[in-house]
Chains A and B, each alone.
Chain A
Amino acid sequence: MLPAPLVARLRSMVGVEGVIDRPEALLVYECDGYTLERAAPELVVLPRTPAEVASVLRLLAAEGIAFVPRGAGTGLSGGTLPVGAPVMICTSRLQRIEAIDVANRRVVAQAGVVNQWVSNAVRAHGLCYAPDPSSQPACTIGGNIAENSGGPHTLKYGVTTNHVLGVELALPSGELVALGGAVEDRPGYDLVGLVVGAEGTFGIVTRATLRLVRLPQAYRTFLAVFDSVEAASEAVSGIIGAGLVPAALEMMDQLIIQALEAAFHVGLPTDAQAVLLIELDGPLAGLDAQSERVEAVCRRNAAREVRVARDDVERAALWKCRKRAFGAIGRLAPNYCTQDGVVPRTRVPDILRAIAAAAARHRLRVANVFHAGDGNIHPILLFDERDRDEVARVLAAGREILEACVALGGSITGEHGIGVEKIDQVPLLFGPDDLRAMTRLRAVFDPQGRANPHKIFPDAKVCVETRAPRRQVAL
């Protein structure tokens, strides 16, 4: 129980409406997009400015209280689960885009700015913010930085860390420190690179300087239809092997195709085993030549049809399908759990076989929609939460799939983070010496371990209430 005077002081800092402690209001905060584990914080604090974040942290530091940072709560690995941390600090009221420098392609955004808002704010200048997670209409820049988020277009444009030039970090001590900035190559260690992807364990990022990229002059968007997953996978390898770098190269399997068609009626071939959504972008010159190569590779790999989006409307329809794929899952089952493994891209057929085998072994249905060009798989395990045995089988199958990823030379997470979800699999990738280096790194920023405790590292794990989920967040 937090002492009443502390709560009162927090209220005086951030305003009465910025402190939430009614149990029913706290329910919203008991999980993020990963719903299999839940824990409600005692208190949620919503500062209005970076300075308020720092003040709140100074107060917590004085009391030795642990905290968990949260943006929009769209994370998929339970990174915002308040375990052993009574106070949750939400950055969602830090909503200002503070500066736009069109000529130098920089923007300064506060942590609670929604990803999509950045691109919206600069589109008229022919610019955009490249990382585009599927949750981009909701997820925040602060959360993206914590998780080093990706998205479908990272194949060509890179992930969050490639686009963050500077951060202002509120250290757990309450000190605000500006790292990096609009100018590249500041001498010293790459502290910005360390903070990005640290899953909120170094403190709370309050604002960031982001790099913008030019909107491409033109797009070519294809839907290639295949009668087998293997053929589609071969086509992916063929495209990469031909020296082409599509902006996106996404695969969807039959179960997803059927769900999408039922939901959106865009004419997807429901009898196909797999489709590839391929997008090329860049200068108009050369785009048609590249398109011909892509089409040729698909046909050579037994694509029975290659559709080209004829205009922006058709392109938008195809992307709507991809980005809302998770939403369509509701038609297949009451609940689902998404995994986030990575394999070398040539091993996509192997991992898909391993996924199918795990599904069969555990009597589960699994749909696949993922970033094939990056080898970043997202098997979606379908279940009904009322069936406790099925929930247990989902968890077991998920573990086996991640183990298969590692066995194929890959990783247990490409863009969702470890959070609490994949803590048990971390030792598959890193040995004791590696993990010791990481925990020592953490202590540089957070010597008392009060920032987002019990995340990432296996020895930090504590028991959390695991229960069947009540709702699903579509991402």
Chain B
Amino acid sequence: MSAWAEIVGATHARPGGPEDAVDGLVPRWVVSPGSVAEVQACVRVAAGRLALVASGRGAHLDIGAPPRRLDVLLRLDRLARVLDHQAHDMTVTLEAGCPLSLVAETLAHAGQWLPLDPPRPATTTVGGLLAANLAGPLRASQGRARDLLIGIRVVGSDGCLVAGGGRVVKNVAGYDLPKLHVGALGTLGVIVEATFKVRPRPEREEAVIVACPTAAAAADAGLAILDAEVPPLWLVMAGPGELAEGPGCGAAAVVGLGGLVEEVAAGRELVREVASRRGLRTAVVADGAALRGRLAGFSVEPAAGVLRAATLPTRVGPVVEATVAAARDAGVDVRCLADLASGIVHVAVAEATAVAALLKVLRPALERDRGSLVLERGHGALKAEVDVWGDPGPGMELMRKLKATFDPSGTFAPGRFVGGL
């Protein structure tokens, strides 16, 4: 204990309790460094003998396989500053513990946004966003964290601070080290700082809900809308009964429109055309951003487990149907929400006991088509029983080497990632 107190001060190191557990594992210590140098010192203490999981505000610690071992929960929420916002350069540099709501507030003053909209923006930190590769409906048009991240600083297993990328929007100097850490779930180092390019926030955002009798009909309408002349800002396919706003109780394609008033109006007309050709009804939701925020929260709404399937956009409808059928066979209720453009289907499963059965039935077909099915969220006990990640594909050997290279002694979140890395 005293070693940690020496580094971060007595008030920022304490013994771990049940509320600090990661997948049921209680850390021996919870340590909150107040500077990058303190993060480095903490990593040096842990290196080679202790296992460390980095966390921001703990909003997404239910992602990933249970850690094999957990000694230190390293909380980065004291590193929460917006370091630099160059509005005219459209870049922002942030400390890893900075919550996305603060980022949004800062950028809003300049009419800008970081168009990444994961669940729980108030407690999601920059480090968590990157490590877990979180996204929301906006990825359909704005890309993922990897597409917006231009620079990173990471504390490596030897305690060294390593920088990759920079602060300019276009840069091919050296290897793309930022990519190494996006979606790595903190298994290769502790992210302490990140620079993003930002974009102008659309002047208007609204949504149009297309009520559909079935998921297949919603997927069909959604794909037609993606092909229309006005590309949507986002497009979510909601399974039966998902939307309070929805006209009717069937499935729905929910189309987010953003831009100038004229663009939104033209988009709205195109959506109505696609719908009326199919005999489908539409309803306009004026506050599109609010609806999007609610849809983004789907994967953290109460459920025993949340699966995430990845497939091709044209396969989303069939995957949702197969999922609903498998759930019926397993005698469990599921709710589905899909990002049609990206081919991502979230499945909220009501009962933990059914999760293993669904994985067993659905995963082989998805992986055969080079897609995937991940148990994105669930309790530690459930995750301990199943293969959380599935087959990462032929790159696994290289991934093992990456882990062995950058974290040879297994300090960073051991066991949390694919293939037990």
Contact = CB atoms under 8 A, between A and B. Distances in A.
The yes or no verdict on A and B being binding partners is: yes
Interface in A242-294: 243-245, 282-286, 289-290
Contacts of A104: 312-314, 343
Contacts of A414: 168, 170-172
A197 B172 contact: yes
Contact of B390 (A187, A191, A431): A187
A463 interface: no
Given A240-B88, A283-B266, A442-B175, A409 B167 contact: yes
Contacts of B393: 178-179, 181, 186, 188
A189 B394 contact: no
A182 B167 contact: no
Interface string B385-399: 000011011111111
Interface string B156-177: 1000111110111111111111
A470 to B, nearest CB: 27
B146 A190 contact: yes
Contacts of A374: 169-170
Contacts of B417: 188
Contacts of B406: 437, 440
Name the residue in B87, B188, B342, B370 with the highest tally of chain A Cβ atoms < 10 Å from its Cβ.
B370
B172 A193 contact: no
A417 B175 CA distance: 10
A283 to B, nearest CB: 4
Name the residue in A187, A237, A284 with the highest tally of chain B Cβ atoms < 10 Å from its Cβ.
A187
Interface stretch (B31-39, B179-187, B294-302): B179-187
Interface stretch (B15-23, B223-231, B244-252): B223-231
Interface stretch (B75-83, B235-243, B256-264): B256-264
A177 B393 CA distance: 9
A443 interface: yes
Interface residues of B, number: 84
B394 A434 contact: no
Given A158-B147, A182-B312, A343 B266 contact: no
Contacts of A371: 170
Contacts of B399: 188-189, 191
B373 to A, nearest CB: 9
A429 B174 contact: yes
Contact of A193 (B179, B199, B229, B313): B179
Contact of B394 (A177, A183, A282): A177
Contact of B168 (A148, A188, A410): A410
Contact of B262 (A289, A375, A435): A289
B311 interface: yes
Contacts of B262: 285-286, 289
A420 B111 CA distance: 41
Interface string A57-97: 00000000000000000000000000000000000000000
Contact of B183 (A189, A343, A435): A189
Contact of B310 (A147, A184, A441): A184
A161 interface: yes
B123 interface: no
B259 to A, nearest CB: 6
A306 B227 CA distance: 33
B344 interface: yes
A416 to B, nearest CB: 7
A147 B87 contact: no
Contacts of A244: 200
Interface in A151-195: 154, 158-159, 161-162, 177-179, 181-191, 193-194
Contacts of B201: 243
A342 B170 CA distance: 7
A162 B147 contact: yes
Contacts of A438: 174-175, 177
A298 interface: no
A282 B172 CA distance: 28
B167 A344 contact: yes
Contacts of A345: 88-90, 169
A36 interface: no
B172 A284 contact: no
A172 to B, nearest CB: 12
A178 B398 CA distance: 11
B349 to A, nearest CB: 19
A413 interface: yes
A45 interface: no
Name the residue in A190, A422, A434 with the highest tally of chain B Cβ atoms < 10 Å from its Cβ.
A190
A426 interface: yes
B49 interface: no
B415 interface: no
A266 B385 CA distance: 70
B176 A197 contact: yes
B89 A444 contact: no
Interface string A418-462: 100010001001110111111011111100000000001000000
B323 interface: no
B163 A431 contact: yes
A194 B170 contact: no
Interface in B80-133: 86-91, 111-112, 133
Name the residue in B311, B343, B402 with the highest tally of chain A Cβ atoms < 10 Å from its Cβ.
B402
A286 B176 contact: no
B163 A148 contact: no
Interface string B176-211: 110110111000100000000001110100000000
Contacts of B392: 186-188
Nearest to A442: B175
B143 interface: yes
Interface string B266-307: 110000000000000000000000000000000000000000
Contact of B177 (A158, A410, A412, A441): A441
29 contacts: A162-B143, A177-B395, A181-B393, A182-B370, A185-B342, A186-B310, A188-B395, A189-B395, A190-B183, A191-B398, A193-B146, A243-B111, A243-B200, A283-B263, A285-B263, A286-B259, A286-B266, A342-B171, A375-B169, A409-B168, A414-B171, A426-B174, A430-B173, A433-B160, A437-B162, A440-B406, A441-B177, A441-B405, A456-B174
Given A197-B176, A346-B89, 10 more contacts: A159-B170, A161-B176, A188-B389, A188-B395, A410-B168, A412-B173, A413-B171, A431-B163, A434-B174, A435-B174
Interface of A: 101, 103-104, 106, 147-148, 150, 154, 158-159, 161-162, 177-179, 181-191, 193-194, 196-198, 214, 217, 237, 240-241, 243-245, 282-286, 289-290, 342-346, 371, 374-376, 409-418, 422, 426, 429-431, 433-438, 440-445, 456
Interface of B: 86-91, 111-112, 133, 143, 146-147, 156, 160-164, 166-177, 179-180, 182-184, 188, 199-201, 203, 223, 227, 229-231, 259-263, 265-267, 308, 310-314, 342-344, 369-372, 374, 389-390, 392-399, 401-402, 405-406, 417-419
Which 8 A/B pairs are nearest by Cβ-Cβ distance? A193-B179, A285-B266, A243-B200, A188-B392, A286-B263, A286-B260, A344-B89, A286-B262
